[in-house]
Structure 1
């Protein structure tokens, strides 16, 4: 594809890498040089960054990002005295449930959001007391108190020596809540 010259009778200039999208293709090189000498700026096409190394095309060369490699510790159990404490977690569960829904009324429109908020709050409070390398799973069941029978069960596969759980129940005249936190050792 050849571009038509502005002036009749002159052959069009061949395309080269020197010609950018922003420069005037049909102007002779001397007039472009004069426009730069007169204080004009030559517009660049790409984003230019100030870095030490530049490729042949003039673009900056980026160093590859080095990844951090972690090695396995091959620990299968926590250090002595660094286990999930179920009694402390139990106290946190009871205090959060009593303080946040102590006098609350059951509302089906916002009960899902309330259960999610309670679960996040309990998980954050128990995480402060939990030693490192433990994963926490927190569940909150919230429902209307209507003299019905309800049984909640949980089942999990875990290490009996290192993993543990805590559970607390709260009831008032309009709602009930059952909160459970499982602390699982993970290396």
Structure 2
């Protein structure tokens, strides 16, 4: 048996990122503006339809946030669309995460026919 390990570059052993770099962190304000643009484009002038509404925005939100190139982040989008009846809605989420690396952005849209609450989560892969 060899006494010595095969040659391994020490840089590779210590270069695994355990925290995102400051300029690569999930930025809620940038994501909020993207989500607001998507909601305005997709929902303005639309009528509430129970069959089509769930499919309207979620996939597009994820794709547009992915274009920001947050490396090593899992992007999760939750979009709630409902019929506007003049009633209140309360939405809550709970997350177990690293407050230094993970974050979220939320945005709402309302029209005469429907309301929408969209949340995008950026969870860092360790």
CA distance in 2, matches of 1:177, 1:80: 31
Higher strand share: 2
Match of 1:168 in 2: 107
| TM-score, length basis structure 1 | 0.58
| TM-score, length basis structure 2 | 0.84
Match of 1:128 in 2: 67
1:107 paired with 2:46, answer: no
Q: CA deviation at 1:130?
A: 3.5
What SS is found at the alignment partner of 2:122?
A: strand
Given that 2:28 and 2:103 are in contact with CA atoms closer than 8 Å, whether structure 1 keeps it comes out as yes
CA distance in 2, matches of 1:130, 1:164: 15
> Where does structure 1 differ by over 6 angstroms across 4 or more consecutive aligned residues?
none
Given that 2:54 and 2:80 are in contact with CA atoms closer than 8 Å, whether structure 1 keeps it comes out as no
Q: Tell me the alpha carbon deviations over residues 35-61 of structure 1, each in whole angstroms, 9 at most, x when there is no partner.
A: xxxxxxxxxxxxxxxxxxxxxxxxxxx
2:85 to 139, 146, 150: 146
2:26 to 63, 78, 84: 84
Which consecutive residues of structure 2, in runs of 5 or more, have no partner in the other structure?
Answer: 1-12
Question: Relative contact order: is structure 1 or structure 2 higher (C-alpha 8 Å, sep ≥ 6)?
Answer: 2
1:155 paired with 2:103, answer: no
Q: CA deviation at 1:72?
A: 8.8
Structure with the greater alpha carbon radius of gyration? 1
RMSD: 1.6
Which consecutive residues of structure 1, in runs of 5 or more, have no partner in the other structure?
Answer: 1-70
Given that 1:85 and 1:130 are in contact with CA atoms closer than 8 Å, whether structure 2 keeps it comes out as no
Higher helix share: 2
Q: Tell me the alpha carbon deviations over residues 45-102 of structure 1, each in whole angstroms, 9 at most, x when there is no partner.
A: xxxxxxxxxxxxxxxxxxxxxxxxxx89553211231101111000000000001101
CA distance in 1, matches of 2:52, 2:17: 44
